[in-house]
Amino acid sequence: MPLRAAVAALPAYVPGARLAPGSSAFKLSSNENPYPPPAAVVAAIVDAAADTNRYPDMYATDLTEALATDLGVDAAQVVVGNGSVAVLAHILSAVVDAGDEVVYPWRSFEAYPIAVAVAGGTSVRVPVTRDGRLDLPAMAAAISDRTRVVLVCTPNNPTGPVVHAGELDAFLASVPGDVLVVLDEAYLEFVRDPEAPDGLAVLAAHPNVVLLRTLSKAYGLAGLRVGYAVAEPALAAGIRAVSTPFGVSHVAQRAALAALSVKDELLERVEHLVARRERLVEGLRDQGWDLPGTQANFVWFPLGGPTAELAVGASAAGLLVRPFAGEGIRVSVGEEEATEAFLRVAAGWR
């Protein structure tokens, strides 16, 4: 049975390298939170495991309400899914017809072209600037009468910079009201740039904006897959209608609720990671590196041709990093010891 042409042509999603059993290497390849879950989250997981013979709450009602309370929005605006990647797929399923265009930056999150193709859409890639920033004027110029969605990844994965409020306002003013703008804020909690936009305020001012967020990074639930969208209620209802039934497991829902209950503890860990990121960036600057200004929990090295070879060398030194063949290497902010070890490797790259 032949596959759909769009499926047959899909690029492979390349996950970050995994640690071998018993390995002493540091995993800096997947932008994970290096801290283990707090005791309250582990306890919630253990307790919820006893109910795995039952289907989860299909609409994650308690979690949806808890997120809405935390954000200060109506619960009807929140849609929870099996990680933000799945939620993005549901958004595109809700609004994209065959042949519709989806504009997004590139290089950016590698799931974008896959999600667009699966939804039946046509990708329109707009190159990021030489310093890894989204070129919002060029993205606005790429919008045509066939454009249905624009994806704005901020901070941008894998390059790291965040869009600024003023440039986002100007961009949104130029986007037609019937074009959906998805602000992908997976790394929101790591942002310290005072010029970064307030996503919730942007959403309140623009009914064609959707916020896409995750509990995988700052909240340390990458292994349980919990993401969510925040949107105008009618749009949220449409996204919810096409979502995978029972898409978020009972264990994941209870763990997410527990994580929200210890939010202050988790955000304190984020502060430590941000401080570690700044030390890493300072150390790299002292070595002579001129890299994109990151506001996420990773740094980007636009290395070009030597990328694969240098990634292999880092692995041999006990550091798993994420190469993008022929383009560059993304390195997550990990344990304190990993930071020091990576600075030694980066010095060798010079």
Contact 326, 305 (CB under 8 A): yes
Contact 295, 160 (CB under 8 A): yes
Phi, psi of 305, deg, nearest 5: -55, -45
pLDDT in tens, the chain (350 residues): 677 877 877 777 777 777 777 667 899 999 999 999 999 999 999 999 999 999 999 999 999 999 999 999 999 999 999 999 999 999 999 999 999 999 999 999 999 999 999 999 999 999 999 999 999 999 999 999 999 999 999 999 999 999 999 999 999 999 999 999 999 999 999 999 999 999 999 999 999 999 999 999 999 999 999 999 999 999 999 999 999 999 999 999 999 999 999 999 999 999 999 999 999 999 999 999 999 999 999 999 999 999 999 999 999 999 999 999 999 999 999 999 999 999 999 999 98
Which amino acid, residue 325? A
Give the relative orientation of helices 84-95 and 233-242 as an angle to the nearest 10 degrees.
100
pTM (two decimals): 0.95
Q: How far apart are alpha carbons 250 and 14 in whole angstroms?
A: 28
Angle CA(234)–CA(235)–CA(241) in degrees, nearest 5?
A: 90
